[in-house]
Structure 1
Amino acid sequence: MDYWSFINRYQLHIADKVESFDLKLIYLLQHCEERVYEQLKHHSACESPRESYETARRELYERYGQPHIIARRCENLLQDVPRLTLNDPAGLEKLAVLQRNCCASLEKMVGTSIVDSVGFISSIAYKLPLKMREKWVSESLRVQDRTNNVARFADFAKFVIEQSREANSVFGKCLFSSPVEKTDTAAP
C-alpha cells in the first residue's frame, strides 16, 4: 500500500539528486524493508549499474506498484478488520487510519476497485456498531442526493474518520469507553 508514497519520496529526495546509478541502487535497496531488500539485492551484482538500477525499479513496481496489487492489499486488510463495539474507540480509530491509508493509496489509480462496490462497503460497514451503521445509511443517502451517485469508498472512509474523531474525543471516550454500558436512565 505504501509503494507510491515510498517511490515518490525516493525519487524526489534521492534519485533526482544523485547522478550515479550505482548509488541510486544502493540507496533504493537501503530504504526498502528487509524482505523487499532480500528480493532485490541480487541486482547489485550485475555489471551495468544503470541496468541494475532500472531492473530493480521495474521489479519493485511489478511486485508492489501495480494498481491491482495495491487494491487487493487494501481489500484484504479491510476484510480482516474485526467487528467493532460501541465502546471501542481505539478499534474505530484503527479502522479510520486504515481507510485513510487505503484512500491515499487508491486515489492515484485509474479505474475502479472492488472497494467502491456497494457489497464491499456494506461488508465493512457491517463491522461497525449498529448505531453507526444506521448513521451510515443516512449519510450514504445524503451523498447520493448531493452527487447523484451511490456513495463510494472515499465517502465511507470520510464517514468512519468523522465517527472515529467523535468517539475519540474527550466526551466520546468518557461516554462510550466505559466497560459497563452507559444507559439513558440516569438523571440529567
Structure 2
Amino acid sequence: MEQEANLKAEALEQEAKLKAAALDWEAKIEAAALEWEAKIEAAKAVAMEQEAKFEAATLEWEAMLEAAKAAALEQEANLKAAALEVTALEQEAKLKAEEEEFDIQTALAAADTRLKVLHIHGESDTSQMDDQGFVSHERQTDVENEPNNPGGAGFAITEQPNRSVTHEAGNHGASVSLCTIVQPQNNNAELLSVLPPSSVPVFKGDPLDYRPFMMALEYGVERETESNKDRLYYMMQYTGGQPRELINSCLHMGPDRGYHEAKRLLKEHFGQAHTISAAYINKALNWSSIKEEDGEALFSLSLFLTTCLNEMAELDYMKELDFVTNIQTIIYKLPYKLREKWRTFAVDIERKRGRIAKFKDLVEFVHTQAKIMPDPEYGDLDFKGESKHHQIM
C-alpha cells in the first residue's frame, strides 16, 4: 500500500512537472509569436516608408522631366523666334536692295528719256537746264503736249545753235554734260549683260563640294528667282543621292519653310565644319602613293595640299594636319627620293628656326618639288635622258 502511494505521488509530481513545462513552453511560444508579430509590423513599417520614399522620388523625377520638357519647348520657341527674326531681316535687306535697284533703274530711265527727248529735236537743238535738271530758254516748247515725250517730264526746249547741253550748277558756273553722267551707268549695264551664265554643279553628298555648291546655288538660282518654290525645285534638280532624299523630305512643306529646311538639312549633314575638315583630312591621308618621276600626280597632290592649307585658316579642325603622325602619313605617299629630301628639309627647319616642321612647311616642300620635277632641262634626270643628251652632244 505504501509503495502504491509512493508511485501515485511520483506520478502526480511528474504530471505537475509536465504541466509546468507545458505552461512554460506555451508562454515561450506566445512570447516568440508576439516578438515575430512585432518584427513583421516593423518590417511592414519599413516597407511602407521605402514605398513612400520611392513614390516621392518618382514624383520628383516626373517634376524634373516636366521641367526639362518645358525648358526644351522654350528653347525651341526661342530658336523659332530667332529664325523668324533672321528671315524678317533677310526679307528687309532684300526689299531694301530691290528699292535701291529700282531707284537706280528709275534714274537711268529718266536720264535715257531726257536723251531721247533731246535727240528728237535734232543735234542742233540745245538747251540750258535749271537748278532741278529741267530745260528752260528764251523760246520754250511745252514737251508735255508733244507725242514723242513718253514721260511728260514737264520741261521746255528751245533752239540755240552751236551750244551744248549743260546744267548750270548754282553760282559756280560749272556745267556738266548729261551724256557724261549717263554713259558710265550704261557701260555698267553692258558689262552685266555680257557676263557668262552661271552653272550649278550636281551635289551628291561629298562634303568637299558643299560650299562650292551652295555658292553656285546662291548666284545661279537664288539671284534669278524670288520664288522659294522654284528654288526648292531647282535644288532638287541639282542634287543626287542622299542630298536629294533630304530635299524630297521637305517637299510636303510649304515652299518657304521647305526651302529653308532643305538648306538647313544639307548644312547639318554635309556642311558642318568638322564634317568638311574630316573629309579633307581623310582624303589627304588616303592619297594614292606617287611613283618616281610622276610629275602630274605630284602636282595634283600639291594643289590639294594647298587647298587644305587655305581651309586651315577658316576651319580649326583642319589643324590636326599639323600633327607629326599625319605629316608622316602624307610623306609616305611621296617617292623615296623626295622622302629623303624631306628629312633634310625638316631637320633644317628644326635647326634654323627652332621648331618642328608643320603642315605649311610640307605644302611648301611639295609645291617646290612639283615645280622642279617637270622642269624641261633638269626635271627628268633618268638614264635614258642622259644618254640622249650625250648623243646630242
- Whether the TM-score (by the shorter chain) exceeds 0.5 is yes
State the 1:121 CA deviation.
Answer: 0.8
Q: Does the 8 A contact of 2:211 with 2:271 survive in 1?
A: yes
Residue 8 of structure 1 corresponds to which residue in structure 2?
Answer: 215
Q: Does the 8 A contact of 2:311 with 2:318 survive in 1?
A: no
Residue 21 of structure 1 corresponds to which residue in structure 2?
Answer: 228
Give CA-to-partner distance per residue, 1:128-151, whole Å, 9 cap, x none. 123322332344456567876543
Q: Does the 8 A contact of 2:277 with 2:318 survive in 1?
A: no
Q: Does the 8 A contact of 2:322 with 2:359 survive in 1?
A: yes
Compared with structure 1, are the counterparts of its residues 75 and 111 closer, same or farther at alpha carbon in structure 2 (3 Å cutoff)?
Answer: closer
State the 1:117 CA deviation.
Answer: 1.0
Compared with structure 1, are the counterparts of its residues 143 and 22 closer, same or farther at alpha carbon in structure 2 (3 Å cutoff)?
Answer: farther
Structure 1 gaps, min length 5: none
Does structure 1 residue 128 correspond to structure 2 residue 362? no
State the 1:60 CA deviation.
Answer: 0.8
Does structure 1 residue 96 correspond to structure 2 residue 299? no
Q: Which amino acid aligns with 2:275?
A: I
State the 1:57 CA deviation.
Answer: 0.8
State the 1:167 CA deviation.
Answer: 1.4
SS at match of 1:60: helix
1:104-123 equivalence runs, <5 A:
104-123=310-329
TM-score when normalising by structure 1 = 0.76
Residue 274 of structure 2 corresponds to which residue in structure 1?
Answer: 68
Residue 161 of structure 1 corresponds to which residue in structure 2?
Answer: 367
Q: Does the 8 A contact of 1:126 with 1:133 survive in 2?
A: yes
SS at match of 1:160: helix
Does structure 1 residue 39 correspond to structure 2 residue 245? yes
State the 1:53 CA deviation.
Answer: 0.9
Q: Does the 8 A contact of 2:374 with 2:380 survive in 1?
A: no
Give CA-to-partner distance per residue, 1:72-92, whole Å, 9 cap, x none. 212221222233232222221
**Distance in 1 between residues matched to 2:281 and 2:318, nearest whole Å:** 12
User: Comparing both chains, which one has the higher relative contact order based on Cα–Cα distances under 8 Å and sequence gaps of 6 or more?
Assistant: 1
Give CA-to-partner distance per residue, 1:63-121, whole Å, 9 cap, x none. 11112111221222122223323222222123223323333444421354422211101
State the 1:46 CA deviation.
Answer: 2.1
State the 1:44 CA deviation.
Answer: 5.0
SS at match of 1:171: coil
Residue 105 of structure 2 corresponds to which residue in structure 1?
Answer: none
State the 1:36 CA deviation.
Answer: 4.4
Which sits farther off after the overlay, 157-166 or 139-148? 139-148
Compared with structure 1, are the counterparts of its residues 64 and 143 closer, same or farther at alpha carbon in structure 2 (3 Å cutoff)?
Answer: farther
Tell me the matched-pair count. 183
